[in-house]
Structure 1
Amino acid sequence: QIFPDAELVQIPVADGGEGTVEALTESMNGKIIHKDVQGPLGKVVDAEYGILPGEVAVIEMASASGLTLIPDNKRNPLITSTYGTGQLIQDAMERGCREIIIGIGGSATNDGGAGMARALGFRFLDSHGKELPEGGGALSYISDIDDSEMDERIQKTKFLVACDVTNPLTGSEGASHIYGAQKGASLSDIQHLDEALGNLAKIVNSKYCRANENIPGAGAAGGLGYGLMEFCGGELKSGIEIVLDLIKFDSYLDGVDLVISGEGRIDGQSVYGKVPVGIAGRAKKKDIPVLVVVGDIGPKVDAVYDHGIDAVMSSVNKAMSLDEAMSRAYELLIDSASRAMRMIKIGMSL
């Protein structure tokens, strides 16, 4: 309407969290795979992941082991497990994938990735040589790890872990203390879980002579970040950078005059791994201005202007509830885009 001769190129993008599988399979002509796996409390759930051209798998751990799979009154990180995530990894390897990208946001678990490893052939034993039950609480009793039946395909597979938090595995900033409460842990549970993860790290360090527990991101997803490093040789990277590299985003920028991105909410914290800031960083290398359309503008939003974003436009055009804003999202986006283009047109005439 405002610039009728403009050429538009749409590129689905995500930051490694919810929506990453959908965005990548759509933008890269991949396919969605459905798989019945063990949910975080042992009940079978219908999980999904994507396979992209080149036999690259994209997994969101929340699909198999996520917090939204458990009612509020049944959340208990002492017993929840990442076993189902391991089953998705195993299924992807069975289908020939030798590169696996795993987004680890939204977990219901605090088991250090032990459940995931168990699905891939590892056994976690107590001092009597008996296999321990699943869940973060049982990690306190690990005395040995048996990897004699480990899936050997792990060693032939590249694991990239989309992770944008910097928490270590244990301690006051670790997985249990920072995220345990939202997963249903009491104060005493949090202390128990923290000590349990510490014991897991002690046994892993003793057996494999590795010490990754203090690497930033080790505490992500209840320690799944740590488990993927230790048991799968995974590499932790910014989720948005993984996605932009995979879709070869920079190649779309040649000849572009304006980049438009979006987010549900933008504030001072958005500089840490959110889609618009990741995109803006790439666009600024080619001196392309960036406009971001959002549902809500939060505190300290000015911080994003130091990271490549030139302007922020709210899609909401009057006071309204969240439910109304979401139900009218399509028309509100059209309206906000029109307002933004009109402002750009005014700027061009000055």
Structure 2
Amino acid sequence: MNVLLCPDSFKDAVSAEQAANAMANGIQRAAPTATIHLCPLADGGEGSLDALIAATNAERRQLTVQDALGRPRQASWGWLSEQRTAFIELAEASGLQHLTPDQRNALHTTTYGVGELFLAALDAGATKALLFLGGSATNDAGAGMLQALGVKLLDHNGDSLPPGGAALQQLATLDLSTLDPRLDSLEVEAAVDVDNPLLGSRGASAVFGPQKGASPDDVATLDQAIGHFAEQSAQALGRDERELAGAGAAGGMGFAARSFLNATLTPGIEMIMQQAKLPNLLPDVDVVITGEGRLDGQSLSGKTPIGVARAAKRYGKPVIVLAGSLGDGWQACLEEGVTAAFALADGPMTLEDALPRTAELLADRCESIARLWLAR
């Protein structure tokens, strides 16, 4: 039995690497002589940095940056010196996971810390940066990041705007003359796990704002404010990226990355699979096992199990998905190369009961899969 294990993380339970190791333990219980390849993955959200560092042996560096509320925090970033490439994960600086539910305030949270990570990469001599967008606590369309990189966002009095997306309503002057000139020589590839535009009913504020603490009134305020920012940006840059698929990723960071950093927007799972050299592993394996916390109809928009299934389908390899839960519309995943999908629970249990048992349940399900495979 030759098996490839390439899960994403299971949120609030285990990292992708821990999930892969648990899966391997289960396989080995049933098939001690199995050949097992571990390839932990992510789709551009939190955990992407860990997955890439594990895949590439990049150096992990630390930097004190501002978090989404402007507080100091230690953020990690990755550095491949021989390729002069930086790995920057938005969630490390401005992630929702760093805020308690009562601290979430989409009107005022900022991406300033992401800009500080970019400055560290430039100081190191980076010529390329992979930016992972996902898991953000922000809805400022990247304005905070731009301020850290030197852009002046001024109100009618000539004062700098305060942090947050709501403040963009007051934007009167967008001054790019002080933008760090080193960015002209930096190739940026931004990993996104959604295809939403910046504005409207499918935009950053309407779709993702509520999970970041935005009320219906806040959503309307934010959509108007970042719409004003987009209009000012279009006038300053001579192009308008607000309808770009992925512009709404990470509270509009996709828009800023494309507009001001000339970034290429790429599905996160595609980028990470390439960096992890997953396509090189697929031809020789018998079966692929992947998974994440939830599989449902929304997984088709770029989540890890579907990216893996689509890649494996090109080689005719069966793909089994293990998920914390199977939600509405998960059956559509069967059309994308998923052979079978199973929920982890081995009986009735609450989420609180299931989370600490995630590694155990992954091992048990993989043991059963291995036994079934050997019995063919």
Aligned: 1:12 with 2:44 = no
**Among 119, 122, 125, the residue aligned to 1:90:** 119
- Give the Cα separation in 1 of the matches to 2:294 and 2:215: 30
Identify the range of structure 1 (46-55 vs 268-277) with the bigger mean alpha-carbon deviation: 46-55
* Residue pairs, 1:178-217, within 5 angstroms: 178-217=207-246
**Among 88, 96, 113, the residue aligned to 1:67:** 96
Other-structure match for 1:154: 183
Aligned: 1:302 with 2:344 = no
* Residue pairs, 1:31-46, within 5 angstroms: 31-46=59-74
Identify the range of structure 1 (114-123 vs 336-345) with the bigger mean alpha-carbon deviation: 336-345
Total equivalences in the alignment: 347
1:330–1:70 Cα change, 3 Å? closer
Which AA in structure 2 matches 1:310?
T
Three-state SS of the structure 2 residue aligned to 1:173 is: coil
The answer as to whether partners of 2:152 and 2:160 remain within 8 angstroms in 1 is yes
- Give the Cα separation in 2 of the matches to 1:58 and 1:39: 18
Three-state SS of the structure 1 residue aligned to 2:38 is: coil
Identify the range of structure 1 (13-22 vs 179-188) with the bigger mean alpha-carbon deviation: 179-188
CA deviations on 1:287-326 (whole Å, 9 max, x unpaired) are 1111222222223222111111112233322222323322
CA deviations on 1:104-162 (whole Å, 9 max, x unpaired) are 21222221111101111110122343322222122112122112221112111111111
Identify the range of structure 1 (67-76 vs 190-199) with the bigger mean alpha-carbon deviation: 67-76
Identify the range of structure 1 (71-80 vs 161-170) with the bigger mean alpha-carbon deviation: 71-80
- Give the Cα separation in 1 of the matches to 2:157 and 2:201: 32
Structure of higher RCO (CA pairs closer than 8 Å, 6+ residues apart): 2
**Among 21, 31, 42, the residue aligned to 1:3:** 31
CA deviations on 1:6-46 (whole Å, 9 max, x unpaired) are 21111121111111111110121112211111122221111
Three-state SS of the structure 1 residue aligned to 2:283 is: coil
Other-structure match for 1:30: 58
> How much does 1:213 deviate?
0.6
Other-structure match for 2:12: none
The answer as to whether partners of 2:198 and 2:255 remain within 8 angstroms in 1 is yes
- Give the Cα separation in 2 of the matches to 1:110 and 1:277: 27
- Give the Cα separation in 2 of the matches to 1:160 and 1:77: 25
> How much does 1:209 deviate?
0.7
> How much does 1:72 deviate?
2.6
The answer as to whether partners of 1:313 and 1:340 remain within 8 angstroms in 2 is no
Three-state SS of the structure 2 residue aligned to 1:236 is: strand
Identify the range of structure 1 (233-242 vs 75-84) with the bigger mean alpha-carbon deviation: 75-84
Identity, in percent, stands at: 40
CA deviations on 1:192-243 (whole Å, 9 max, x unpaired) are 2111111111111111111101111112222111111111111211110010
* Residue pairs, 1:1-350, within 5 angstroms: 1-52=29-80, 54-346=83-375, 348=376
The answer as to whether partners of 1:127 and 1:141 remain within 8 angstroms in 2 is yes
Other-structure match for 2:20: none
- Give the Cα separation in 1 of the matches to 2:328 and 2:209: 26
> How much does 1:248 deviate?
2.0
- Give the Cα separation in 1 of the matches to 2:223 and 2:345: 42
> How much does 1:86 deviate?
0.5
Identify the range of structure 1 (260-269 vs 214-223) with the bigger mean alpha-carbon deviation: 260-269
Identify the range of structure 1 (43-52 vs 206-215) with the bigger mean alpha-carbon deviation: 43-52
> How much does 1:171 deviate?
1.8
- Give the Cα separation in 2 of the matches to 1:295 and 1:72: 22
1:313–1:179 Cα change, 3 Å? closer
CA deviations on 1:59-108 (whole Å, 9 max, x unpaired) are 22121112233333333222221101110111112112222112221222
- Give the Cα separation in 2 of the matches to 1:304 and 1:186: 32
Which AA in structure 2 matches 1:39?
D
> How much does 1:271 deviate?
1.9
- TM-score, structure 2 length as denominator? 0.87
Three-state SS of the structure 2 residue aligned to 1:9 is: strand
- Give the Cα separation in 2 of the matches to 1:135 and 1:271: 31
The answer as to whether partners of 2:269 and 2:307 remain within 8 angstroms in 1 is yes
Structure 2: runs of 5 or more not aligned? 1-28
> How much does 1:262 deviate?
1.9
CA deviations on 1:157-191 (whole Å, 9 max, x unpaired) are 11111112222212222222222222222333222
Which AA in structure 2 matches 1:110?
N
